[in-house]
Structure 1
């Protein structure tokens, strides 16, 4: 997963309208996943996730763990999914953006670095239901899946999401959905292509006052 905010103007206390200098916010996430089918109805999975965020010339990074399960309820084809994301250590911003210029008699190097507080990566609980209203097995050429989720991050209120995915021959995908009771995220549209071990995904997400984002993902399955 990769996110680029695009260029934004640097502002300071002295220059609240901008300094003329530009910066980007960059987010990168890479996951290594393992899943196992325990019974004909229950699957479990775990992922080790590396992520990094760069803001101007400051950054933070960490490794966290995600855990999840997938259970075939046997009731009208509904699948129940649950997950807990972001088990890991606290993180802290560091980098040149935290340097402050001072007189040489205060610091030989002519600068001091601010030390930011550590903070936890937001643990997130998720539960959802999905159902294949068209298709439903691996041999189906056409499959249409509807899903609904409830998400509870520890640093935000509970919100939801609904969406649908159309799959052709398990190779090409079209997706759409929207967040519910979220203060910024709204409609999302996207798609993906899968060939052999490789999968490429794209999503357009409208974040309201934060404007639109374009999200890309690359997966390798083995």
Structure 2
């Protein structure tokens, strides 16, 4: 009876936030779409979370916690390093690295996230095959984190991040804060978390970019080479995101475990989405995962992945793979490597 009660509570924690969001939080996704910058911050960097439908705010059980919820870093048993690589759409790659140092009830963290588009051909309405020019976009974030385990059941964490985003010769820079809380319901296997990510100041872009006059710009002022020079831009806002999530250990045995996760994500610039995930492990060595994101227009298949732990000298190593796909854009592959120090 007790087990069923906690399972029911987990389900309630999953679905009540969605109902609350429908009644309280404005659904302005379509109206706000495309109005915020620093979109790379919304790309999950690690294979485990991606394979579980990006539902890990209450169960980021490794150094990826610095991305999902810094409070979770204070729940780690030891210091960790994590490296993640995402093969994104259109041959775009994103890399992530994080380090969590545990000292008594405190966790200190350093994280780095970078997305690089590579060289891309410039196209225009009149020259869809290319203008002969190329451009590149680079995006990175550096974060410093602090988390504390106040009791064995509760922790909080904060991350200060510096953001830099460059498109051609135009650069936007600003600072944001991530804040999170984590609570464990005794020894029931139930836990939940709240996070507020990428809350900060608007960026004032600087630099300039050049374009050939379009069909409606024949009278526009140009430079000596016939280009229109743009050097005034509107401010760019970071994609502030509010997250609620829970996790539940459905089965806990010495040789076999199943964990369920759920998450409500409410971004400032798109519609809300709801994620579910599951992880099955055997002997804490082999892992199989799956998940699904509701509210993502192009999401039509579940994500999935696998991982395995193995010792190497005095270190514990875990390698993970995650796969997810979008209907029109294609597939994403992620790999992660975690090292327990």
Figure out how many residues of one structure are paired with residues of the other and give that number.
215
The structure-2 alpha-carbon separation of the partners of 1:55 and 1:210, relative to structure 1 and needing over 3 Å to count, comes to farther
Please report the TM-score for the alignment, with normalisation by the length of structure 1. 0.73
Q: Within the alignment, does 1:116 sit opposite 2:224 as a pair?
A: no
Distance change in 2, residues 1:116/1:199 (3 Å): farther
1:11 is matched with: 123
1:15 aligned counterpart, secondary structure = coil
Report the counterpart of residue 161 of structure 1 in structure 2. Answer: 275
Aligned to 1:37: 149
Please say which of residues 18-27 and 119-128 is displaced more in the overlay.
18-27
Residue number in structure 1 paired with 2:203: 91
Q: How many angstroms does 1:132 deviate by?
A: 1.0
Q: Secondary structure at the match of 2:90?
A: coil
Instruction: Report if the CA contact (8 A) 1:6-1:25 is conserved.
Output: no
Stretch deviating more after TM superposition (82-91 or 32-41): 32-41
Whose helix proportion is higher, 1 or 2? Answer: 2
Q: Does residue 211 in structure 1 map to residue 330 in structure 2?
A: yes
Cα offset, 1:209, TM superposition: 2.2
Residue 81 (str. 1) matches residue 201 (str. 2): no
* Structure 1: unaligned runs, 5 residues or longer: none
CA shift at 1:131, angstroms? 0.6
Q: Which has the higher contact order (CA 8 A, sep 6+)?
A: 2
Aligned residue number for residue 260 of structure 2: 146
Q: Secondary structure at the match of 1:6?
A: helix
TM-score (norm 2): 0.51
In structure 2, what is the equivalent of residue 177 of structure 1?
Answer: 291
The question of whether the paired residues in 2 share the 8 Å contact of 1:200 and 1:217 is answered with: yes
Taking only aligned residues, the RMSD between alpha carbons, in angstroms, comes to 3.7
Contact 2:172/2:236, CA 8 A, preserved across alignment: no
How far apart, in 2, do the equivalents of 1:113 and 1:171 lie?
Answer: 55
How far 1:145 sits from its partner (Å)?
Answer: 0.9
Distance 1:215 1:58 in 2: 29
Alignment match of 2:243 (pick from 116, 120, 126):
126
Q: Distance in 1 between matches of 2:194 and 2:299?
A: 22
In the alignment, structure 2 segments of 5+ residues that lack a partner are 1-44, 46-84, 92-119, 213-221
> What's the secondary structure of 1:165's corresponding residue?
strand
User: 2:94: which partner in 1?
Assistant: none
The counterpart of 1:48, out of the listed 160, 164, 174, is 160
Aligned mates of 2:145, 2:317 — CA distance in 1: 14
CA displacement at 1:114 relative to structure 2: 2.6
